[in-house]
């Protein structure tokens, strides 16, 4: 067996073996949701390593062993650098998510002042490192303050969040909710209709539109908007809500029940 044949055999064994390792590792990580490095971030550098060997040996199967080893070492170096970069990025992401989750837990416990204080502190820290998480922290402050009726504070936090990062339909929906809660459902309705022309497949905006219609006691229009929101949840692969089932249970179903209850009492 000559060198070329040996290298091609190694190619046939090493590349599939590395890919198999990546897939098995990926499946294991998918079952362990608390892993700090997302599955795809581990797959990418290992695929780079495997396929770099493939390219090297296909382009030059007669390459001398030192060149093969040098190529493998170079690929391994790329893998290490990519992996360390992904670990660093994942650590920052996991830290931001942890802060948001901690604030939400405080809010759920009724410790609203503590939740807002935590987010205000972290928003300033995030602003120097990660605009996305700074915006998320300020958006949650706006959401919490809206829920306890501090609309001016909420609008200020929402404005500052937008200065860090465009929050899209979430920011539009919250701003419309504030307008509605301030006692102007007609203005809220106009705002949402205008936004709906720009974001026709927004589940969140259709739900807010239903709330605006219901504030005006227009049950048919509210039901139609909810129907459209549920249709989008069923038919669209990617929507502007994090968890489709939770959103149905927490946002759509209670509003449907309110409408049904009100219509039922009117018919009695």
For 21-71, how does the pLDDT look when each residue is reduced to its tens digit (9 = 90+)?
A: 666 665 565 554 444 344 455 556 666 666 666 666 555 555 555 555 555
pLDDT attached to residue 265: 72
pLDDT attached to residue 79: 59
Pull the structure tokens for residue 138: 């300020």
CA nearest neighbour of 224 among 208, 240, 210:
210
pLDDT attached to residue 34: 40
What is the C-alpha separation between 161 and 131, in angstroms, rounded? 9
Q: What is the DSSP string of 132-171?
A: HHHHHHHHHHHHHHHHTT-HHHHHHHHHHHHHH---THHH
> Could you list the mean pLDDT of each consecutive 10-residue stretch along the chain, which spans 268 residues?
58 62 60 45 60 59 57 59 58 68 88 91 77 87 92 94 88 94 93 93 94 93 95 90 89 92 72
Q: Are 140 and 100 in contact (CB under 8 A)?
A: yes
What is the C-alpha separation between 98 and 117, in angstroms, rounded? 15
pLDDT attached to residue 2: 58
Q: Are 99 and 91 in contact (CB under 8 A)?
A: no
pLDDT attached to residue 38: 45
Pull the structure tokens for residue 6: 């040996």
Pull the structure tokens for residue 113: 């002042």
Q: Are 11 and 53 in contact (CB under 8 A)?
A: yes
pLDDT attached to residue 223: 94
C-alpha torsion 191→192→196→198, nearest 10: 30
Is the full-model pTM beyond 0.75?
Answer: no
């Amino acid at each position: 067996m000559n060198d070329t044949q040996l290298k091609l055999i190694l190619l046939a064994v090493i590349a599939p073996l590395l890919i198999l390792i990546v897939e098995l590792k990926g499946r294991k990580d998918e079952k362990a949701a608390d892993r700090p490095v997302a599955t795809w971030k581990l797959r990418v550098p290992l695929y780079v390593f495997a396929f770099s060997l493939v390219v090297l040996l296909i382009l030059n199967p007669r390459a001398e062993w030192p060149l093969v080893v040098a190529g493998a070492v170079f690929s391994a170096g790329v893998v290490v650098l990519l992996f360390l970069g992904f670990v660093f990025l994942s650590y920052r992401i996991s830290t931001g998510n942890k802060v948001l989750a901690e604030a939400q837990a405080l809010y759920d416990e009724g410790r609203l002042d503590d939740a807002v204080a935590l987010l205000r502190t972290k928003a300033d820290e995030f602003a120097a490192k990660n605009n996305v998480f700074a915006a998320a922290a300020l958006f949650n402050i706006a959401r919490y303050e809206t829920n306890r009726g501090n609309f001016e504070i909420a609008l200020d936090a929402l404005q500052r969040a937008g200065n860090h990062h465009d929050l899209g339909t979430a920011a539009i929906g919250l701003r419309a909710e504030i307008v509605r809660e301030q006692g102007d459902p007609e203005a809220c309705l106009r705002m949402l209709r205008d936004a709906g022309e720009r974001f026709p497949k927004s589940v969140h905006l259709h739900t807010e539109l239903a709330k605006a219609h219901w504030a005006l006691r227009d049950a048919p229009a509210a039901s139609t908007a909810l129907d459209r929101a549920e249709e989008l949840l069923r038919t669209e692969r990617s929507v502007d809500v994090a968890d489709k089932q939770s959103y149905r249970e927490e946002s759509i179903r209670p509003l449907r029940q309110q409408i049904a209850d009100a219509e039922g009492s009117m018919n009695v």
